[in-house]
Amino acid sequence: MAHHVTLLPGDGIGPEVTSATLRVLEATGVEFEWDTHKIIGTSAVEEERPELPDDVPASIRERGVALKGPITTPVGEGFTSVNVQLRQRLDLYANVRPCVSLPGIDSPFEDIDLIIFRENTEGLYAGIETYDARLEIADSTARVTRRGSERIVDFCFDYAQKNGRDTVTLAHKANILKESSGLFLKVGREIAERYPDVNFNDRIIDNMCMQLVMYPQQYDCIVSTNLFGDILSDLAAGLVGGLGVTAGANFGDDYAVFEAVHGSAPDIAGQGKANPTALIRSAVMMLDHLNETKAAQAVNTALRDVYAAGEVLTADVGGSSSTTEFAEHLAARVEEEM
């Protein structure tokens, strides 16, 4: 039976990497019925509709799962990020970003296999901001709640336990942000006691960044608040070949939205240069979520083979192939695997 999934191609390089991903999914033979929504963000505003039209969250609520391309957010003025709105409206509190090395990528490290679990609905991204125009003073509130902290740390430990992972490291700044980071760390330590089989430690965020760049192999599962998690995951993406290869997924208790870590990359949009690997790896996470394990494994194996061969790759990872050429080549390899 076909899986009913919401499809949001997004903008910028979104439509290019989405059609490449659909080609690879098609090669697995798994059947999907897509509910596609192209009008979102800037294109919706141009049609005088809200940036996040209500039919989008409604579609995801009905289907439970979405595959999403990046959506541009205007810097400074303009509408609130559609990505943040979607995560908040669907209460997608866990942003999961695996950083796993692929063979043949020119990177200072090999065999990195770590996962960042980022709290996705509160912290400094809670949207609690004020600006006093007279005094020209701006405030952003980092809201951290016990419930929000408990559920993301518990999600991370639960994932670690179910997937045979050894260690959870909690990244914080509780030495300075004694209340917000302090609460997150306190709750983290409490949750850790419920999982005696998983090791637990914590790191101050600045030290964590240095440690990650020097000794990334020491890390396994890393959990943090929204802003720190966002920055850490781009840093970790850089360790395994950049944003073109780094997958992501947003989970709540009821819904899951699979999207790459990268944005809409306006500098290369429409040029056939984008690397679809990140969205393809997000789609692999989706296949796992839908219990299509064989197909997920086939795409992973094919990806490793194509990267190890190094003949058909996009420019960001040292190749000269286009988005479509890479997708066609990978899809042919997936068909062989299935």
Classify strands 94-100 and 113-119 as parallel, antiparallel or unpaired: antiparallel
User: In this structure, what are the phi and psi dihedrals at residue 118, rounded to the nearest 5 degrees?
Assistant: -110, 130
Cα-Cα-Cα-Cα torsion 160, 114, 203, 147, nearest 10 degrees, comes to: -40
Q: Which CB, 275 or 321, lies closer to ligand NAD?
A: 275
Q: Would residue 294 show up in a list of annotated catalytic residues for this protein?
A: no
Nearest to 161 by CA among 196, 119, 113, 193: 196
Q: Catalytic residue at 230?
A: yes
Catalytic option among 93, 125, 159, 219? 125
Phi-psi region of 310 (alpha: psi -120 to 50; beta: other; left: phi over 0): left
For ligand NAD, the closer CB: 28 or 250: 250
The torsion region of residue 177 among left (phi > 0), alpha (psi -120 to 50) and beta comes to beta
Shortest distance (Å) from residue 303 CB to ligand NAD: 14
Q: Give the whole-angstrom CA distance, residue 55 versus residue 63.
A: 12
- Distance of closest approach, residue 207 Cβ to ligand NAD, in angstroms: 25
Q: Cβ closer to ligand NAD: 121 or 275?
A: 275
Output the residue with the shortest Cβ distance to ligand NAD.
263
CB of 83: closest distance to ligand NAD in angstroms? Answer: 4
Give the pair of three-digit tokens for residue 121: 């609905």
- Looking at the Cβ atoms of 13 and 90, the one nearer to ligand NAD is 13
Active site residue 316: no
Q: Return the SS3 of 30.
A: coil
Nearer to ligand NAD, 174 or 278 (CB): 278
Interatomic CA distance for residues 184 and 144, integer angstroms: 7
Tell me how far apart the alpha carbons of residues 286 and 231 are, in angstroms, rounded to a whole number: 23
Residue from 111, 166, 206, 253 carrying the catalytic annotation: 206
Provide, rounded to whole angstroms, the least separation between the CB of residue 153 and ligand NAD.
Answer: 23
Minimum CB separation of residue 175 from ligand NAD in Å reads: 29
Task: Name which of 266, 259, 251 is nearest 18 in CA terms.
Answer: 259
206 counts as catalytic: yes
Binding site for ligand NAD (CB under 6 A): 13, 17, 70-73, 83, 243-244, 259, 262-268, 274-275, 278, 316
Query: Among 11, 202, 230, 316, which one carries the catalytic annotation?
Result: 230
Phi then psi for 31, rounded to 5 degrees? -95, 135
- Active site residue: 11, 93, 173, 255, which one? 173
Residues acting as catalytic residues: 125, 173, 206, 230
